[in-house]
């Protein structure tokens, strides 16, 4: 089944404790991205990746890191989480090949609480 | 960067009525406009999309119109049903100068369909 998976689905942590949220897709998509969703603010892009070893900042990258060592995986890293990073996080992928825009397929979401 | 405005933020209709959600965008480089539906506790899922070379697209009870000159696009749902109740997001995306690709989402419209 074609899908985007994220783990963990729920996470409660404390300020300053490094964490990683994993994202994986099995659709051979080149484009992957991370969003955070906050009430009243919609979806805001954190980082995106056009292909392996190619990553770039989205609209709200501060406090986050990503890596793209393999095509299927795109982990989100919070080196020192703070309470303002409490949010619902979505990973997404898209068959964005040859410069042709296309829809994004979203993972199930990760609800993160930073105390 | 791109700015997407979405209105209204909340829309309440009676079953069987029509619902219209409107979005405006600012960047003329945007050429792909998807609409996503997000049910409570679920991931956003594409319901319809339109590209800048098309003025209107329809899929059963859902239609989208695009006015490139005025930089606005709208979602139309006819004969609404209670299962249409959800949050709807519009988005604008396209390759910008420099090669970046950052889809920008509206803040969402909470559609409530009363039986």
- pLDDT for residue B73 is more than 60: yes
Query: Nearest-CA distance from B91 to chain A in Å?
Result: 9
Which residues share a beta bridge with B110?
B10, B87
> With contact defined as beta carbons under 8 Å apart, do A78 and A101 qualify?
no
Q: Which residue is listed with tokens 């404790």?
A: A17
| CB within 8 Å: A96 and B34 | no
Instruction: Please determine, for residue B12, whether its predicted confidence score (pLDDT) is greater than 80.
Output: yes
> Sign of the CA dihedral B44, A25, B93, A46?
positive
Q: Does B32 touch chain A (CB under 8 A)?
A: yes
- Stretch B68-72: mean pLDDT, rounded? 94
A71 — pLDDT class (breaks 50, 70, 90): very high
Lowest mean per-residue pLDDT among A18-32, A49-63, A81-95, B85-99 = B85-99
Q: DSSP states of B52-105 as a string?
A: TT-SEEEETTEEEEEETTTTEEEEEE-S--GGG-EEEEEEEB-PPTTS----EE
Q: How far is CA A65 from CA A6, A48, A62, A68, B96, in A?
A: 16, 11, 8, 11, 23
With an 8 Å Cβ cutoff, are B103 and A96 in contact?
A: no
pLDDT at A100 > cutoff 90: no
Preceding amide of A39 cis, omega within 30: no
Put simply, the answer to whether A59 touches B100 (Cβ < 8 Å) is no
Residues in chain A with CB shorter than 8 Å from the CB of B32 are 101-102
pLDDT band at residue B98 using 50, 70 and 90 as cut-offs: confident
- Confidence at A98, pLDDT banded by 50, 70, 90: low
**A38 pLDDT above the threshold of 90:** yes
pLDDT per residue as tens digits for the range B34-44: 999 999 999 99
Give the one of B42, B94, B107 whose C-beta lies nearest to A42's C-beta.
Answer: B107
């Amino acid at each position: 089944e074609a899908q985007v998976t994220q783990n963990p689905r729920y996470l409660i942590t404390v300020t300053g404790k490094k964490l990683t949220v994993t994202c994986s897709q099995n659709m051979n998509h080149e484009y992957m991205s991370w969003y955070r969703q906050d009430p009243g603010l919609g979806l805001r892009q954190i980082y995106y990746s056009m292909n392996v070893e190619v990553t770039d900042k989205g609209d709200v990258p501060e406090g986050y890191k990503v890596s793209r060592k393999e095509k299927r995986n795109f982990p989100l890293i919070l080196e020192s989480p703070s309470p303002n990073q409490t949010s619902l996080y979505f990973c997404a992928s898209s068959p964005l090949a040859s410069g042709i825009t296309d829809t994004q397929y979203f993972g199930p979401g990760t609800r993160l609480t930073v105390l | 960067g791109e700015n997407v405005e979405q209105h209204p933020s909340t829309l309440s209709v009676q079953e069987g009525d029509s619902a219209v959600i409107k979005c405006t965008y600012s960047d003329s480089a945007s050429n792909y406009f998807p609409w996503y539906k997000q049910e409570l506790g679920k991931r956003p899922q594409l319901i319809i999309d339109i590209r800048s070379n098309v003025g209107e697209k329809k899929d059963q009870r859902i239609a989208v119109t695009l006015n490139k000159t005025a930089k606005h696009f709208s979602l139309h749902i006819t004969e609404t049903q209670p299962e249409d109740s959800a949050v709807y997001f519009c988005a604008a995306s396209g390759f910008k100068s420099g090669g970046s690709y950052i889809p920008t989402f509206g803040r969402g419209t909470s559609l409530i369909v009363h039986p």
